[in-house]
Amino acid sequence: MKRILCLILLLGQFLPLSARGQGQDTDVPAAEEEKIAVLTPEEIEISEKMAEYFVEMSEITSTVAYVNFPALKELERKLQALNVKWNTYTAIQQITIAGSEYLMEDISRYNILYMSASDSIASQKVRLEAVNSFAEAEKQIKEYIPVYEKILSDASKLSLVQQTSSQLERLKAGEQLTLAEVQAIYEKARHSAELNAALQERMNAVEEDFITIRNCSEKIQAAEFKPFITRIKDYILTLAGVAVIVMFISMMKSKIEAAKAARESAKKYKDMLGQNDEYPTI
C-alpha cells in the first residue's frame, strides 16, 4: 500500500487539467486512497504497474527539448519500446482493466501522454533537421561568393573585345543557371529559419551574402562590348554625375550653415533687445 501511494504522488502531474482549473478537489492522496478502497488486490497490482509506465513516460518527455539527434533517436527508441511493453501488458490484463472504471481512465491518460510525447519528438526532429539543413545552405552560399567574383572578372575582360562577344553571351547564360542554383539554396535556408526561430540571426547574414551574389549577377548580365570612345564617354558621364552629386551636397551644406548663422544672429539680436529693456525710461 505504501508503495502505490508513493507512485500516486509521482503521478500528480498527470491529472487532467480540467480537474485542476475548475475548483475540483485536488487532494491527490485522499482521492487515490478512495480509489484504492474500491479496487481489488488484482486491480491494485495492475494500477501499480501502470504507474511505473507513467514514470518512464515522464522521464522521456522531460528531456526531449534538450537533446541532439543521436540522443533524440535513443529517446524515440525508448518510447516505442515502452509502448510495446504497455500494449503487451494491458492486452494480457484487458479483462480486468475493462471491468474497472479507474483502470480505463489510466488507459485513456496513457494514450494522451503517448501522443504528446510522440508529437514532441517529431517537433524536435524537425527543429534539428532545420539546423542541419540551414548549416549546409549557409556554407554553400558563402562558397558561391568567390565563384561569382571570378565570373564577374571574366565577364569584364570578355566585354573589352568585340571578338569575344559570343563567349561573353555563353558566360552570361551559364551564370543564370548558377544563379538559379543559388536561389534554390537560399530558399532552403529561409525555409529552415522559419522552422527554427533560433536561426534568424544567422539568416540575416545569409541574406547579405545572397544580395552580394545577386548584385554581381546584375553586373555580369549588364556586361557588353563597347567601343573605346563609348567607354571614355561613359566614364566622363560617370565623373560628371559624381561631380553633380558632390556639388549638390556642397550646396545643401552651405544652405544649412547659412540657416544656422541666421538663427544665431536672430538670437543675439533678441538678447540685445532684452538687455535694453532693463534701462529706466523717462
Q: Are residues 185 and 200 in the same domain?
A: yes
- In eight-state DSSP terms, residue 11 is G
pTM, entire model? 0.59
Q: Are residues 70 and 137 in the same domain?
A: no
Q: Are residues 80 and 123 in the same domain?
A: yes
- Which of 65, 98, 127 is where one domain is finished? 127
Quick one: pLDDT at residue 234? 55
In a domain, 68, yes or no: yes
What's the pLDDT tens digit per position in 232-241? 555 565 665 5
The total number of residues shown for the chain amounts to 282
Q: Are residues 45 and 75 in the same domain?
A: yes
Quick one: pLDDT at residue 269? 65
Residue of higher predicted confidence among 165 and 281: 165
Is the pLDDT at 48 greater than 80? The verdict is yes
Q: What integer is the mean pLDDT of 211-222?
A: 94
Q: Which three cell numbers stand for residue 160?
A: 573589352
Q: How many structural domains does the chain have?
A: 3
Q: What integer is the mean pLDDT of 158-162?
A: 87
Half-sphere exposure of residue 136: CA atoms within 13 angstroms, side-chain side: 12
Q: Are residues 67 and 100 in the same domain?
A: yes
**pLDDT band, residue 18 (cuts 50/70/90):** very low
Quick one: pLDDT at residue 125? 92
**pLDDT band, residue 204 (cuts 50/70/90):** very high
Q: Are residues 97 and 26 in the same domain?
A: yes
Q: Are residues 112 and 14 in the same domain?
A: yes
Q: Which domain holds residue 256?
A: 227-275
Determine the Cα–Cα distance for residues 22 and 88; give it in Å rounded to an integer: 36
In a domain, 194, yes or no: yes
In a domain, 154, yes or no: yes
Q: What integer is the mean pLDDT of 136-164?
A: 92
Quick one: pLDDT at residue 214? 95
**pLDDT band, residue 46 (cuts 50/70/90):** very high
Q: Are residues 42 and 123 in the same domain?
A: yes
Quick one: pLDDT at residue 280? 52
Q: Are residues 11 and 70 in the same domain?
A: yes
Q: Which of 105-119, 132-146, 224-238 has the lowest mean pLDDT?
A: 224-238
In a domain, 280, yes or no: no
Q: Are residues 220 and 172 in the same domain?
A: yes
Q: Are residues 96 and 149 in the same domain?
A: no
**pLDDT band, residue 225 (cuts 50/70/90):** confident
Q: Are residues 237 and 189 in the same domain?
A: no
In a domain, 147, yes or no: yes
- Which of 211, 226, 241 is where one domain is finished? 226
- Given a contact cutoff of 8 angstroms between Cβ atoms, the answer to whether 100 and 39 are in contact is yes
In a domain, 281, yes or no: no
In a domain, 249, yes or no: yes
Mean pLDDT, rounded, of the chain: 80
- Which of 112, 127, 142 is where one domain is finished? 127
In DSSP notation, 84-147 reads HHHHHHHHHTHHHHHT-HHHHHHHHHHHHHHHHHHHHHHHHHHHHHHHHHHHHHHHHHHHHHHH
In a domain, 53, yes or no: yes
